[in-house]
């Protein structure tokens, strides 16, 4: 799931590939009348060590704080790279974009496979949640409105931490819940991969050797009726993560009664959607706005 560096390019492939509709958007609902002011960024606090002293590897994160009144909703951003490379710098542009829309952004690093196979990365994100909880008062962070956003393997982690049940994972019981998830180019069901060097490196073996472990590591396997809403975006030309990873996941979420949206771009592949996915990102932010409105309940009946 390795991705390319994010570039500050404003061009869109839709303009050059005008061969019909650029995308389809399933599950879209009318947009709320929300305040879309461009908040200035009050502070960028870099290289926060968010893990405890005894953690196997000291992990850092960057915190973006918008200058907005009251409690700030939070987005944890998670970079891709096949669970084994890249860095949180890939999410810097997105972090600044979200901060300007009023979100505090916690852009995290995590441990890499193969030295640290699953579930190390999930445990790292749990520590990020614990840090947010412990430091919420200092930075006016709203622990009832914590969201996750990832791309590629980062999308897998962003969805996984939101979907695992607290009784399935150590140290999760006292952590705040996830309000909503945005996942781009997601490998949602690792059970579909056999013989993949990338997934085997992350999992510590092949699917046929450990089918139960592959299921447990898959967000699609953990779907339950109390999961948070999910926004998925995916390129139809993605040759690294097959389109059915997103479409099947979306169908399963809808079948379970979970609010979900699916944005499919006709002319993007895996890397290009990350680089040029501005429209998908904007629609995902609209989705976050709806699900983080002050009068919106985080719990569904």
At 68, the pLDDT band (50, 70, 90 cuts) reads very high
Q: What is the predicted pLDDT for the residue at 29?
A: 75
Q: What is the predicted pLDDT for the residue at 6?
A: 47
What mean pLDDT do residues 60-76 have? 97
From the list 98, 4, 22, 16, the residue with the least C-alpha distance to 263 is 22
**CATH numbers and ranges of domains, the chain:** 25-292 (3.40.50.1820)
Q: What is the predicted pLDDT for the residue at 36?
A: 62
**Six token digits for residue 157:** 């982690």
Q: Kindly report the backbone phi and psi dihedral angles of residue 55, in degrees, each rounded to the nearest multiple of 5, phi listed first.
A: -65, 145
Q: What is the 3-state secondary structure (H, E, C) of 8-41?
A: CCCCCHHHHCCCCCCEEEECCCCCCCCCCCCCCE
pLDDT tops 80 at residue 167: no
What mean pLDDT do residues 141-168 have? 92
pLDDT > 70 fraction of the chain, expressed in percent and rounded: 85
What mean pLDDT do residues 271-292 have? 96
What mean pLDDT do residues 142-160 have? 98
Q: What is the predicted pLDDT for the residue at 1?
A: 52
Do 145 and 295 form a contact (C-beta atoms < 8 A)?
no
What mean pLDDT do residues 73-81 have? 98
What mean pLDDT do residues 241-259 have? 98
Q: How far is CA 252 from CA 159, 236, 271, in A?
A: 14, 19, 25
Q: What is the predicted pLDDT for the residue at 100?
A: 97
Give pLDDT tens digits for 215-247.
999 999 999 999 999 999 999 999 999 999 999
Q: What is the predicted pLDDT for the residue at 27?
A: 85
Give pLDDT tens digits for 170-224.
555 689 999 999 999 999 999 999 999 999 999 999 999 999 999 999 999 999 9
At 4, the pLDDT band (50, 70, 90 cuts) reads very low
DSSP codes, the chain: ---PPP------HHHH--SS--EEEET--PPP------PPEEEEEEEEE-S-TTSSS--EEEEEEE--SSPEEEEEEE--STTTS--GGGGHHHHHHHHHTT-EEEEE----TTTS-TTHHHHHHHHHHHHHHHHHHHHTEEEEEEEEEEETHHHHHHHHHHHS-GGGSTT-TTSPPEEEEEEES----GGG-SS-HHHHHHHTS-GGG-HHHHHHT-GGGG--TTPPPEEEEEETT-SSS-THHHHHHHHHHHHTT--EEEEEETT--HHHHHHH-HHHHHHHHHHHHHHH-TTS-S---
**CA dist., res. 82 & res. 301, Å (int):** 36
Q: What is the predicted pLDDT for the residue at 23?
A: 84
pLDDT tops 50 at residue 298: no
């Amino acid at each position: 799931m390795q991705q390319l560096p994010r570039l500050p390019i404003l061009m869109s492939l839709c303009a050059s590939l005008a061969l019909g509709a650029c995308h389809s958007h399933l599950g879209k609902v009318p947009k709320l009348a929300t305040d879309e002011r461009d908040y200035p960024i009050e502070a960028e606090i870099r290289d926060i060590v968010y893990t405890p002293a005894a953690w196997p590897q000291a992990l850092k994160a960057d915190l973006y704080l918008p200058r907005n009144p009251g409690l700030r909703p939070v987005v944890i951003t998670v970079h891709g790279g096949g669970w084994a490379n890249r860095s949180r710098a890939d999410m810097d542009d997105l972090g600044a974009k979200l901060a300007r829309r009023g979100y505090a952004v916690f852009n995290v690093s995590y441990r890499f496979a193969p030295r640290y196979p699953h579930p190390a990365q999930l445990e790292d994100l749990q520590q990020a949640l614990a840090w947010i909880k412990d430091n919420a008062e200092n930075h006016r962070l709203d622990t009832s409105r914590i969201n996750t956003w990832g791309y590629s393997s980062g999308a897998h982690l962003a969805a996984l931490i939101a979907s695992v049940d607290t009784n399935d994972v150590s140290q999760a019981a006292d952590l705040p819940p996830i309000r909503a998830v945005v996942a781009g180019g997601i490998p949602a069901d690792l059970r579909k991969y056999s013989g993949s060097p990338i997934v085997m490196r992350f999992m510590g073996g092949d699917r046929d050797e450990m089918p139960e472990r592959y299921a447990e590591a898959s967000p699609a396997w953990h779907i339950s009726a109390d999961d948070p809403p999910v926004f998925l975006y995916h390129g139809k030309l993605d040759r690294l993560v097959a389109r059915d990873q997103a479409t099947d996941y979306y169908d399963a979420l809808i079948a379970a009664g979970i609010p979900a949206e699916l944005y499919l771009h006709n002319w993007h592949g895996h890397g290009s959607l990350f680089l040029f996915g501005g429209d998908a990102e904007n629609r995902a932010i609209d989705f976050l706005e709806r699900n983080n409105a002050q009068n919106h309940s985080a719990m569904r009946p």
